[in-house]
Amino acid sequence: MNKLVIFCKSYSKDLLRAKRMAQSILRFNRDNIPLYMSVPSDELELFKKTFQNLPCHFVTDEEILNNCSKTYGPSPRLFPAHLLQQLIKLEFWRLNKCEYYLWIDSDSYFLKPFDTNFFFHNDDTPLLVMHHANDLRNFALKYDTRIAEKLDNRIKAIQQLFGRKGESFYFGDPPLIWSSSVLKAMSREFLKPRGMTIYELLYRYPCEMQIYGEFVLAYNIHKIIPTEPFFKVFHYAEQFFDSQRKGESEYSLAGKYLGVVMQSNWTNKKEKKKNDMARFKKFLREQQRKLGLIRFQPF
């Protein structure tokens, strides 16, 4: 079993971004930390063909979900796609590939050399990304205060879920280093005694980063060594344009960060507005969820 691997959940829409990310790992990975990537089974051959000359171990989403279902049963019908992505990140540990995994999104890439020591305080203590999201809050003050309000609501809700008192923190953004033993403990010590499934947890509290971070703090699984984010994250186009106006570049950002996240929610080419039928189908799916196709007991 590896001490550390890099893990990415991707799909065909992010194929070229994922390739760029993998190329940056190949270029800067001084310890040859293995890269694992989970993709839908029907897209596996496409990824293998595109990644021909890149060192990458592929697993399928179905493989991870099947392992998850052995503990929690099959995932609910109409379970939202974005939550399935979070679920796969949280359940990768069940494949027994590693003690720790640094999960990274397809829209990220490294800017400079890195090794295992970048992500650990010592051999047994991974760094925990844990901060106050000041970068995002400053952006919200300038452009849209609702961004910070939504963030605070999510942070407080998950903090209350774990019964932790005191100061609130943000545990994003990726890449983040997670411990397989922590996730195993969350399954056995938090979910199982309450009769919860991972599906219920994510459906009611849809933020895997906060769930992991709050569990670590509340259950004192290992020594807490907080760190600022490893990568510079551009959540919104305006953040990127502000950075450009300041004269920042990949070279200057590499002085402070290991890499960059260019979130695909704003770098994607804008799709045409949905027609009436598409909007109706989306509305219908939401109503089906509300009517009980996804039904859980209160926590």
| Per-domain boundaries in the chain | 2-293
Residue 278 tokens, joined: 């598409």
Sign of CA dihedral 148, 153, 158, 164: positive
Q: Is the confidence at residue 196, as pLDDT, over 90? A: yes
Handedness of CA 173, 230, 33, 187 (dihedral sign): negative
pLDDT(299) > 60: no
Query: What pLDDT score does 145 carry?
Result: 96
* Whether pLDDT at 172 is above 90: yes
Closest CA to 79 of 298, 299, 295: 295
Residue 288 in this model has a pLDDT that exceeds 90 = no
pLDDT for the residue numbered 124: 86
| Helix residue ranges, H only, the chain | 15-28, 44-50, 61-72, 81-91, 134-143, 146-161, 180-185, 192-194, 198-204, 208-219, 237-245, 250-253, 264-267, 276-288
- The pLDDT score that the predictor gives to residue 298 is 47
Determine which of 91-95, 189-193, 269-273 has the lowest per-residue pLDDT on average.
Answer: 269-273
Taking CB atoms within 8 Å and a gap of at least 24, the contacts of 282-291 are 285/78, 288/78, 289/78
pLDDT of residue 83: 96
294 pLDDT higher than 90: no
Q: Is the pLDDT of residue 40 over 60?
A: yes
- Is pLDDT at 84 greater than 90 in this prediction? yes
The mean pLDDT value for 158-179 works out to 97
How many residues are there in the chain? 299
Phi, psi of 262 (to 5 degrees): -105, 90
CA 246 to chain centre: 29
Average pLDDT of the chain is: 92
| Beta partners for residue 104, in sequence order | none
Q: With 0-12 CB in 10 A as exposed, 13-18 as middle and 19+ as buried, what is 210?
A: buried
Asked if pLDDT for residue 275 goes beyond 70, the answer is no
Q: Report whether pLDDT(163) > 50.
A: yes
User: Which tokens go with 138?
Assistant: 């400053």
Phi, psi of 64 (to 5 degrees): -65, -45
The mean-pLDDT minimum among 222-226, 257-261, 272-276 falls in: 272-276
The one-character DSSP state at 273 is P
Cis omega (within 30 of 0) on the bond before 14?
A: no
Indicate the range of 48-62, 174-188, 198-212, 268-282 predicted with least confidence. Answer: 268-282
* Calpha distance 151→160 (Å, rounded): 14
pLDDT at 220: 86
For the chain, percent of residues with pLDDT exceeding 70:
89
The CATH classification number of 2-293 equals: 3.90.550
Q: What radius of gyration do the chain's Cα atoms show? A: 19
**Residue 101 contacts residue 59 (beta carbons within 8 Å):** no
Q: What is the pTM of this model?
A: 0.90
The torsion defined by the Cα of 26, 32, 37 and 43, in degrees rounded to 10, comes to: 50
Q: Tell me the percentage of the chain whose pLDDT exceeds 90.
A: 84
Residue 166 confidence (pLDDT): 94
More confident residue, 288 or 8: 8
